[in-house]
Amino acid sequence: MRFSAADSMYHSRRSKGRPRGRARQRDALFRCRTAIIDTFRTFRIHHIVTQRQNQKIAVIGAGLSGICTAYFLAQAGCQVTLIEQHGNVAEQASLGNSGLIAAAGQMPSAAPGLRKKILSSLFNADSPILLSPTLSPALWGWLRKWVAQSQLERYRLNKTRMTQAALYGQQLLLQLQQQHMIDYQASAGVVQVFRHEAQLAAAAKLRAVLVDLNIAHSLLDAKQLRQLEPNLNPATALAGGWHFPQDGAGNCLFFIKQMKAIVQAMGVQSQFMQTVTALQSGEQGAVLTIDGAPHAFDAVVVAAGAGSNKLLKPLGIRIPTAIANSYAAVATIKNPEFAPRGAVLDADYKTAIVRLDERIRITGILDLQPGRRARAMHPQAMKTLLKIADDWYPDAANYNQASFWSGNVVMLPDGPPLIGATAAPNIFVHIDGSSDGWAASVGAAAALADLIGGRQPEIDVSGLQLTRYH
């Protein structure tokens, strides 16, 4: 039996000073009323779930967000169709994911000091953010929202929201790994390195967030960190850093490709090389226009990453996103004895160095310059990625033979995943605004499937929905 705060206060005010006999009668009536309400709510939720279990639901986008959403919807009994404009899964942002499976190590991009980084990017060639003074007014407006989220209190709130989704995602990944025998080259342990004492001091101020979330962590000085990760280049300045033993890394692309086979075996219909050009919403369902032909569904999940806003804007749904280019470099390990033991985050450059089997993957750099094509490599971005790898592990890999990737990623100003219903009936969204980790997206997908099915999610989703922007 549940009592709301409002009901409790009402009951307290009304029964104060009453004779004990009458108070007992009111207590009995109150409990009876509450039991009736609870019974009605349970029946209503069961009715909604029963309806949703047999519904036809389309998921637009076969990246990490889309494939995981399709899995959890199918697991709940929905008839799911996965629609992707490319020829296979994970052809865009998911392909360039850092590989971090991090609850503690995944941080909002809007962190304290962001304003200074944006200004310095205009003059610093190897900045982790690539900007130009000729940005459009709309993008400058988005940058103001981004900077506003870097205030310490906002950062703490956003970090908490990301972490709870990522912790849930880590649990689900373990379950998926065991249930379906998925191998995604998982490794344990993440360290975040600080080059400067000021960064180390600032990190200590955020310790309360990790303590509140019950996350295993250690704040280490330079000597302790080098003992933990002995292959760090001794010539590179190191003040200290975080160690997150329960975080890890894994090959996101391997995971998604195996999930593709799993969802197809569950009955999910996959439609590749199919472009959704229009989306219509109504009380009875939704209609997608795919290559000129209408297709009706009971509900639609838009998980199209950088293409999501194009579909949602005609419906009056505006999400504060920016489209950036992100970059990755992959090099073959030549000297395993000099390679990283675990995943390493460079706090100065917001860049991840992850060992995936016999390769090292370096990801980062946000390119917000106008006119940059999704597949076009920025020469300075390539130099910066290799510089960071050489700073920390100069003898580990053949960096001069590295392969590079570039692609569009969608950014949200605050960082946590965006899931849930929209103002348009039967239209839902799943947008992951972070490219430096993938556990949170898995957790968000499961929570979204619960919301669509009328079930109570396992985590608090109030800070993951569109209402956070209003």
Regarding predicted confidence, which is higher, 116 or 374?
Answer: 116
Residues 325 and 188 in one domain: yes
The dihedral through the CA atoms of 453, 312, 308, 440 has a sign that is: negative
CA distance readout (Å), 326 to 93, 255, 323, 374: 8, 20, 10, 9
Residue with the two structure tokens 């379950």: 175
Is 140 found in the same domain as 39?
no
C-alpha–C-alpha distance, residues 461 and 458, integer Å: 9
Domain check: are 418 and 359 in the same one? Answer: yes
The token pair at 469 is 């922007």
CATH number of the domain to which 101 belongs: 3.30.9.10
For residue 266, being part of any structural domain is answered with no
Report d(CA 459, CA 167) in Å as an integer: 10
- Is 80 part of a structural domain of the chain? no
Given a contact cutoff of 8 angstroms between Cβ atoms, the answer to whether 434 and 63 are in contact is: no
d(CA 454, CA 448): 10
Region 233-256: mean pLDDT is 94
In a domain, 431, yes or no: yes
- Same-domain check for residues 40 and 101: no
DSSP three-state, residue 252: helix
Quick one: pLDDT at residue 223? Answer: 96
- The answer to whether position 294 is within a domain reads no
Please report, to the nearest 10 degrees, the dihedral formed by the alpha carbons of residues 339, 342, 343, 348 taken in order: -70
Torsion of CA 126, 361, 88, 57, to 10 degrees: -90
47 and 183 part of one domain:
no
Q: Does residue 16 share a domain with residue 131?
A: no
Write down the pLDDT at residue 406: 86
Decide if 276 is inside a domain: no
The 10s digit of each residue's pLDDT in 166-223 is: 999 999 999 999 999 999 988 999 999 999 999 888 888 778 888 888 889 999 999 9
Domain for residue 343, yes or no?
yes
The amino acid at 277: T
339 closest CA partner among 323, 324, 360:
360
Domain around 41: 5-51
| Residues 6 or more apart whose Cβ sits within 8 Å of residue 7 | 30, 34
What is the structure's pLDDT at 94? 64
Environment class of 208 (CB within 10 Å of its CB; exposed 0-12, middle 13-18, buried 19+): exposed
- The token duo for 323 is 């489209």
Q: Give the torsion sign (CA, 284, 89, 276, 442).
A: positive
Residues 43, 172, single domain; the answer is: no
**Residue 273 confidence class, pLDDT cut points 50, 70, 90:** very high
Task: Look at residue 371 in the predicted model and tell me its pLDDT.
Answer: 57
pLDDT reported for residue 150: 93
**Each residue's pLDDT tens digit, 371-418:** 555 556 788 899 999 999 999 999 999 999 999 988 888 999 999 999
Is residue 413 domain-resident?
yes
Q: Are residues 338 and 387 in the same domain?
A: yes
Tokens 């950014």 — which residue? 411
Hey, what are 49's tokens?
Answer: 């779930």
How many structural domains is the chain composed of? 2
Dihedral of alpha carbons 262, 263, 264, 270, sign: negative
130 shares a domain with 24 = no
Residues 231 and 150 in one domain: yes
Q: How far apart are CA 263 and CA 267, in angstroms?
A: 7
Same domain, 148 and 205: yes
Note whether 335 and 225 are same-domain residues: yes
Higher confidence at residue 154 or residue 20? 154
DSSP structure class, residue 420:
E
> Does residue 271 fall inside a structural domain?
no
- pLDDT, tens digit, 9 for 90 and up, residues 274-309: 999 999 998 899 999 998 899 999 999 999 998 999
